[in-house]
Amino acid sequence: MHLRNALHPIDAVFVGAIFSVLMGGLSLGACLGCQNGSGRRVSPGVGMELALLASPLNSYLSMFAFILLRLFQAVIVMIAVAFFAFMLFQYVGDPVVFLLGQDAKPDQIAQLRTDLGLDQPFFVQFVHFLGNAVQGEFGLSLRQGAKVSRLIAERFPATLELSLVAAFLALVVGIPMGVYAALRRGTFISQLFMTLSLLGVSLPTFLIGILLILFFAVILGWFPSFGRGEVQTFGWWSSGLLTVDGWHHIVLPAVTLAIFQLTLIMRLVRAEMLEVLRTDYIKFARARGLSNNAIHFGHALKNTLVPVITIIGLQLGTLIAFSIITEAVFQWPGMGLLFIQAVTFADVPVMAAYLCLVALIFVVINLVVDLLYFVVDPRLRLGSAGGH
């Protein structure tokens, strides 16, 4: 998908307006520079050189305008998510009752409401909530009595490691399987891959996790069934990937989390590869006498991965955000397990912090994926520079 086609019509007008103003200034400068001080026109060769110099500048200006637009949209999205997170404090229980209990005296309740700022108008409370959220402060956990920011910082490394290992497995296994299924259609192994992918998409994550625990942990005893294992700490960050025991514990939950993403990536790569192999430039490459390896991996695979980048980026955010079930099955001490516990006890500050953090992760990943299009697909840079 071309990046320009992905823009909403209003977005396109916004980018077009910025680009037109910038290009208008360049055009005016070019017209004023057509004549030198004596009133004689500059040679056409100089104008051609200026046009060549302006082409990459146009591309950079278009990218800059696009980045500004995406940043503006990201701010709007984060404000909207923060508003919904703030609404949890208003309609999901009473934090004063959670903190003081049912037997609190009226003067104690009134004093705590004043201390927490709950006696102020709605929008004043929301502005204070936004200011604290920007600083990463979401108050105290109603269940544990600790700062929410500290709880998130303690659990985030475990979730990030699990998601990165699962994403790595999905990419390393899914892309080669998809390429093989596209290049060797109709073979037994290709049909086997498609059948396994159908099972991976159909089976729920918790069932896959339970089956893996039953077979590899209970029956064979090869891997542990819960926990993160031994970890190394570096300040507030902790990592289990630097110890053998940590790798031993992460295998089953990472495989469980990666299976659905693996099958999705495999089927997507296969479909895109088949579509690319039917294009005209692949036929011209064959007519030129290029080898199959050069055609498949030097031309077809590169263009196949362009739309896959979007799916990979979004799925990484999905792995981080929705690893809840996997962490609950394997008792993995990450943010997902913390969120499950928060929902069970109506711990609103933790729920609000989790919601805002997940939204921030998706916004950042979307911005990075959009920028990667300019790097991976040269047609976007040429299209921006040429005005197409």
Q: In this predicted model, what pLDDT tens digit does every residue of 229-258 receive, in sequence order?
A: 888 888 778 888 888 888 989 999 999 999
Residue 26 has pLDDT above 60, yes or no: no
pLDDT at 273: 83
Do 216 and 168 contact (CB within 8 A), yes or no?
A: no
Q: What is the pLDDT of residue 17?
A: 42
User: For residue 12, is pLDDT > 60?
Assistant: no
- 33-79 pLDDT, tens digit each: 444 444 444 444 444 444 444 455 666 677 777 778 888 888 898 88
Residue 56: what pLDDT?
Answer: 59
CB 312 within 8 A of CB 340: no
pLDDT at 375 over 80: no
pLDDT tens per residue across span 138-155: 877 877 777 888 888 888
Q: Which of 64-73, 93-102, 360-369 has the lowest mean pLDDT?
A: 93-102
Of residues 312 and 331, which shows the higher confidence score? 331
| pTM (2 d.p.) | 0.71
One-letter amino acid at 149 equals: S
Q: What percent of the chain has pLDDT over 90?
A: 5
Which pLDDT belongs to residue 214?
92
pLDDT score for 372: 73
What the block records as the tokens of 61 is 């200006």
Q: Is 337 within 8 Å of 331 (Cβ atoms)?
A: yes
User: What does each C-alpha distance from 358 to 150, 254, 363, 381 come to in angstroms?
Assistant: 16, 19, 9, 31
pLDDT bin (cut points 50, 70, 90) of residue 216 is very high
Is 364 within 8 Å of 160 (Cβ atoms)?
no
**Which pLDDT belongs to residue 37?**
43
Q: Which region among 173-182, 232-241, 294-303 has the lowest average model confidence (pLDDT)? A: 294-303
Three-state DSSP at 35 gives strand
Higher pLDDT, 115 or 339: 339
